[in-house]
Amino acid sequence: MPIPVSAIDQFTVEEGEEVRHLVGMRCWCHGPDGQPDPNCTEHEAGGWVYANEKNIIGLVTDISQNAELMETGVFLPGDAIFSPLSTDVVSEGDKIIFTWPLPFGQGDPLVRGITASDRLYYEGVAGIFCIDEDKTSYTQDTDYRLNGKAIEWDWTGKPVLGKKPAAGKRYTVKYQAYIEWLAFVPPVTRISHGVDMGAKVMLRKKHLMEHQ
């Protein structure tokens, strides 16, 4: 006898994690040649627009726990499987943002601008280490602070002894972040006795997708 979908959903609610889900679509700026308009400011890298954000619940597992999938050669260590409730639709190209911080392993190589802040790739939570090309290191909350997808070097109340890189100086900051993931292949549909039991969604970190 098949496991009832309601039982699977109940298990997902009890053991799953809450994540942020955004619907991914090709931007309307794509031309007849299939390429996005390079001057369009609406889409992210690759010509994708993400909308209709909402929180959903699902089971999150590391792909390395599935030897069969790893042997296909399609997946990389660090990829993840997300299994949402049967009532939630997650499709290829969608974005999932974990609601718990993870290290952004490679860090952000940046160039200090002329404004109070520089833009980060992910939404930062806590700094791990920051150093510039002159080997000068910087400390969070003394020299800089993280605010969403920005690293701030000037703010009201910054400690007098706080320092910052000069404009044009190259530096790298490694930090804990809310990592963004992309559904990079069509989800695996699970049907049992004609009943949709929900999909298995294969996820890859966004920076790995864009830098392939």
pLDDT of residue 82: 93
Task: Give the predicted TM-score (pTM) of the model.
Answer: 0.86
Cα 203 from chain centre: 10
Cβ neighbours, 10 Å, residue 166: 8
The string over 108-127, giving b where at least 16 C-beta atoms fall within 10 Å of a residue's C-beta and e elsewhere, is: bebebeeeebbebbbbbeeb
pLDDT of residue 46: 83
200 vs 111: which has the higher pLDDT: 111
CA–CA gap between residue 11 and residue 58 (Å, rounded) = 10
pLDDT tens across 178-192, in order? 999 999 887 666 655
Burial (CB < 10 A; 0-12, 13-18, 19+), residue 38, is exposed
Task: Give every CB contact of residue 158 below 8 A, 6+ residues apart in sequence.
Answer: none
pLDDT at residue 74 greater than cutoff 80: no
For the structural domain made of 5-101+179-210, what CATH number should be given?
2.40.10.270
pLDDT confidence tier of residue 63, bands split at 50, 70 and 90: low
Q: Where are the domains of the chain?
A: 5-101+179-210, 105-177
Task: Give every CB contact of residue 91 below 8 A, 6+ residues apart in sequence.
Answer: 23, 24, 183, 186, 187
pLDDT tens across 80-133, in order? 999 999 889 999 999 999 999 999 989 999 999 999 999 999 999 999 999 999
